[in-house]
Amino acid sequence: MRKTKLFYLFLFIAAIFTTACSDKDDDVTLELKLSTNKAVLLTDETATVNIEVGNDGYVAKSENETIATASITDKAILIVGKKAGETNIAVTDYKGKKAMVKVIVKPVLSVENSKVTVVAGETSTVAIKAGTGKYTVTSSDETVAKAVINGQNITITAVAAGTATITITDTDTGKTQEITVTIKPTLVLEAAEATIVAGESATVKIVGGTGQYSVASSDEAVATATIAESVVTIQGVAAGTATVTVTDTDTGKTQDITATINPVLAIDKKEVSMWVGESNTVTITSGTGKYTVASSDKAVATATIAESVVTIQGVAAGTATITVTDTNTGKTQDITATVKVKESPFTVDDKGNVFKKEGATVTGDVVLPKEGRIIVDMQSEEPTPTTALCGNKKITSIDFNNVTTIGQYSVANCTALKTIHLRKVSLINLAAFYGCTALKKVYAYMEDPSAVSVQYMAFVTEGITLYVPKGKLEAYKDSQFKNFFSKIKEMD
């Protein structure tokens, strides 16, 4: 009986203990504990924070849902980043326990363009639309393109034609963006100027570019232009200047060629004839204004040029080619000069005395016969029908050729005479050139002036210049010539 009582007492005590313990568990309140109190994520990404200890009945609320939102799934807090910024997520359970999660939302790296095209030698800028502000940038091929960061911009420098990948990295988030860069060759011409003669053409090669081109002239009345296989052909139309513009239609880049069109060289006649000792002229009717002239045979004809007029001087019978060159363009024109011997108005006897043929006319530039040696003395200043020179008022110059003796008064009163050439003279007799009032130049070619006798009043006209061989100036000044010429100069 005693044992039975003890058994029931034990059951009673156990029941009381069990009831007491059960009431005690219902009254326990746990502190809310999270796996972390800070979440860092990117916009449009989701972060999870786990509830490790709590009292169930959980609720999560964001202080700024434009930055981040929060929801509860079982014991996980799901945080979604909405835009860059910071906010707090408050987590509570049914017993009012609370925990906070600091949320930092960072921007996702993005750029305004993922593909750019640049011409070699130029730069392009790509803006960073979003990111933390901490970036690095690299190029897959710096021989094609280089890149640097300038604030929120990527500056890409095109180095050479080709393709490269520019990679920008947000060092704070580790995110990257790639930009495919296509570098096109710059437009380059082999020359920026072209000089052409009207009616001809010139070419300029395109040495750099995409291969797609167009060409235009600023003045097609001066020059036209065409293009084929990277070669620009410029056609000269008329004298002047035009700008030929080459455009790379793929890149829009242009290059200008200054086309200078020179006038074609032209003359008014290509054949002339003249007598020995006389001249003829040819006029240059078109050209740049800078010319030279040359004779194929100076023993037949010589040529000079002044102010676009070519003067051809007949020297001896025959034919010579006179070539006119425009030194600016290199273009030439040929003139065929035929020199004829005019029937001499003079006759020479067997002693070498020179006489005029009766009835003949002597005018202009006179060259005495090569057989002549003596111009005979005149007994007075009045000429006879066969007097060679005396009293002729139409002679302007005399080349005495091989004459050695000029007789007294033999050339007197030739009032139009301006120039004489003395080549082999040994005697200039009394008053030989008396009354030659227009005489200004005397050319003496004798090497030994001391062997020449110059008689009284041989020259009486004032202001005559005597031209002598080089190196013989002092010899002439020490000879009889000094008595008649105050001005003695060496020939050029």
Task: Report the alpha-carbon angle 148-167-117, nearest 5.
Answer: 75
Q: Are residues 324 and 282 in the same domain?
A: yes
Report yes or no on 474 lying in a domain: yes
And the tokens for 101? 């999660």
In DSSP terms, 146 is beta-bridged to 157
Question: Could you list the residue range(s) of the whole structural domain that residue 136 is in?
Answer: 110-184
Report yes or no on 9 lying in a domain: no
- pLDDT at residue 12 above 90? no
Find all residues with CB under 8 Å of 407, minimum gap 6, and list them: 374, 375, 376, 377, 378, 429, 432
Q: Are residues 416 and 476 in the same domain?
A: yes
Do residues 336 and 302 make contact, with C-beta atoms less than 8 angstroms apart? no
Q: Are residues 315 and 444 in the same domain?
A: no
pLDDT band, very low/low/confident/very high, at 4 (cuts 50, 70, 90): very low
DSSP 89-126: EEEE-TT--EEEEEEEEEPPPEES-SEEEEETT-EEEE
pLDDT band, very low/low/confident/very high, at 3 (cuts 50, 70, 90): very low
Q: Are residues 476 and 356 in the same domain?
A: yes
Q: The tokens 């800078």 sit on which residue?
A: 290
Mean pLDDT (the chain) is: 92
Q: Are residues 459 and 382 in the same domain?
A: yes
Specify the CATH number for the domain of residue 292: 2.60.40.1080
Q: Are residues 200 and 307 in the same domain?
A: no
Report yes or no on 2 lying in a domain: no
Q: What pLDDT digit, counting tens, does each position of 301-323 carry? A: 999 999 999 999 999 999 999 99
H/E segment holding residue 15: helix 2-26
Specify the CATH number for the domain of residue 461: 3.80.10
Q: Are residues 115 and 208 in the same domain?
A: no
Is the dihedral angle over the CA atoms 386, 387, 388, 392 positive or is it negative? Answer: negative
Report yes or no on 8 lying in a domain: no
Last residue of a domain, one of 262, 294, 318: 262
Give the DSSP letter of residue 353.
Answer: B
Report yes or no on 330 lying in a domain: yes
Do residues 296 and 321 make contact, with C-beta atoms less than 8 angstroms apart? yes
Q: Are residues 408 and 438 in the same domain?
A: yes
Q: The tokens 């019978």 sit on which residue?
A: 317
H/E segment holding residue 364: strand 364-367
Q: Are residues 411 and 461 in the same domain?
A: yes
Last residue of a domain, one of 106, 134, 149: 106
pLDDT band, very low/low/confident/very high, at 341 (cuts 50, 70, 90): confident
Q: What pLDDT digit, counting tens, does each position of 264-279 carry? A: 999 999 999 998 889 9
- pLDDT at residue 215 above 70? yes
Least confident of 8-12, 464-468, 481-485: 8-12
Q: What pLDDT digit, counting tens, does each position of 358-408 carry? A: 888 999 999 999 999 999 988 755 666 778 899 999 999 999 999 999 999
Report yes or no on 74 lying in a domain: yes
Q: What pLDDT digit, counting tens, does each position of 159-205 carry? A: 999 999 999 999 999 999 999 999 999 999 999 999 999 999 999 99
Q: The tokens 């009616």 sit on which residue?
A: 199
Q: Are residues 237 and 290 in the same domain?
A: no
Report yes or no on 178 lying in a domain: yes
- pLDDT at residue 10 above 60? no
What's the confidence (pLDDT) of residue 383? 65
Query: How many separate domains does the chain show?
Result: 5
Q: Are residues 117 and 173 in the same domain?
A: yes
Q: Are residues 69 and 44 in the same domain?
A: yes
Report yes or no on 90 lying in a domain: yes
Find all residues with CB under 8 Å of 203, minimum gap 6, and list them: 231, 232, 233, 234
The reported pTM is 0.55
Last residue of a domain, one of 75, 106, 137: 106
- pLDDT at residue 224 above 60? yes
